[in-house]
Structure 1
Amino acid sequence: MDTRTRPLTLTERRKQATQLEIAHAAAELFTAHGTDGTTAEAIADRAGVALRTFYRYFRSKQDAVGPLLAVGGDRWRALLAASEPGADLAGALRSAVAQVLDAPDEAAAAGLRQTRGLLRAAADDPALRAVWYRVNQESEDKLRPVVAELAGEDAGTLPVRLAAAAATDAIRLALETWAETDADVRGPDSPAALATRCLRELTGGMELLT
């Protein structure tokens, strides 16, 4: 199974760039003012786009942060897809998790702190939580073919689905747990450390990963 996709067209790249700019604007405003204190108009103004452009891409102000929340999952799947087929799947998953949640520079650290702000805002906003859960479900769905390719042709459908679900939940639970604390972006209680720990616990008994 080929997990590669065709290159994006220039129009598609521009669309993605605009969506991400809007997502960053929404995240900044949600973190500073909460979702109740933020309007779609304010997000559009911060992103430098017209309100009609905002609604061309997003149905609601909460929906606007979806592309930003999905960035980590996209990077994670790309790292996994680059692994050699037949390689140790558990090791590949843990390595990719550690890399994608690592904070080697201030830009990466700022991105994690922004995610923390969004998850804290989501605690009081069901619509924003729904976006977070939807992003995670979409990430899990996209992860399945990557896991299947790495696991090999003999891997059954159920073990592949279990592995994809466990790996996705490991990251989700780690980020949610970290967001509830004031722990640093690095160290034993960082997102990377927590996700690695969750992944080890959730996948420890899976035959596919042993």
Structure 2
Amino acid sequence: MSAHPILRPTLAERRKQETRMDIARTAARLFAEHGTSEVTAEQIASESGVALRTFYRYSRTKEEAVEPLLAAGAQRWLADISDGPHRLPTPAEFESAAVRSLTLGDSPEDLEITRGLLTAMNDDQALRAIWQRINLEAERELCDVLTKLAGPHADSIAVRIAAAASAGAVRVGLELWAMGASTPDGQDSPDALVVECMRRFSSAVRV
């Protein structure tokens, strides 16, 4: 039996994705610099080089414009885990997938924009709500992925705990990185902090 062909996005779809990400970068930078209350959708559209009508085609609100940037790493992580062995990943495999998603994806510029946005969330309820929603959706998607990998006789409790612990470790690691934290051995990169948190979470939930 021949393998199913891989469906690749069309040129038009890639351009839409690029436009949406450009808008997300602009919105994230402006929010980090000024806060959401001081930034308008018109300003984001103008600095992104698109019409306001185009902006609202990609985002219902100005706050939602940052979602593609914040969700990109999680989507890469989920795709990496989905392509793994048809069983629950080991802690080491979770860590490796997280490191790949962080080090092989975002550019240094995108990471700095993300860092500024995560820092700005401390004083911005609207941004925190977006971040919390993205993380909750990522946890739910991870739970679905793990359920499929574990097979029909999966331990649903173990799957839920693995999804919650892994997704939570990624979130906490990124938030600590944005705050300027470092691991006990002095590493301050986002992937190092995420791995540190994964190991702490794994230890915490072990019975």
Identify whether the pair has TM-score above 0.5, normalized to the shorter chain. Answer: yes
Amino acid at match of 2:67: G
Residues 206 and 123 (structure 1), Cα distance of their counterparts in 2 relative to 1, 3 Å cut:
closer
- Partners in 2 of 1:120 and 1:158 — Cα distance? 34
The corresponding residue for 1:174 is 173
Kindly indicate whether residue 50 of structure 2 is the aligned counterpart of residue 49 of structure 1.
yes
Q: Percent identity?
A: 46
Alignment of 1:54-65 (within 5 A): 54-65=55-66
Residues 127 and 53 (structure 1), Cα distance of their counterparts in 2 relative to 1, 3 Å cut:
same
**CA RMSD of superposed structures (Å):** 2.7
Residues 87 and 142 (structure 1), Cα distance of their counterparts in 2 relative to 1, 3 Å cut:
closer
- Partners in 2 of 1:205 and 1:120 — Cα distance? 27
Cα deviation, 1:149-184, whole Å, max 9, x if unaligned, reads 333433222211211111111110011111112769
Unpaired runs of 5+ in structure 2?
1-5
The corresponding residue for 1:99 is 100
- Partners in 2 of 1:32 and 1:13 — Cα distance? 29
Residues 188 and 152 (structure 1), Cα distance of their counterparts in 2 relative to 1, 3 Å cut:
farther
Unpaired runs of 5+ in structure 1?
none
Residues 87 and 147 (structure 1), Cα distance of their counterparts in 2 relative to 1, 3 Å cut:
closer
Number of residue-to-residue matches in the alignment: 200
Amino acid at match of 1:49: V
Alignment of 1:74-153 (within 5 A): 74-86=75-87, 88-102=89-103, 108-153=107-152
Shift of 1:206: 5.4
Matched residue SS, 1:181 = coil
Amino acid at match of 1:191: P
Residues 205 and 152 (structure 1), Cα distance of their counterparts in 2 relative to 1, 3 Å cut:
farther
Higher relative contact order (CA 8 A, sep 6+): 1
Contact 2:166/2:198 (CA < 8 Å) preserved in 1? Answer: yes
Residues 80 and 69 (structure 1), Cα distance of their counterparts in 2 relative to 1, 3 Å cut:
same
Structure 1, 133-142 or 151-160: larger mean CA deviation? 151-160
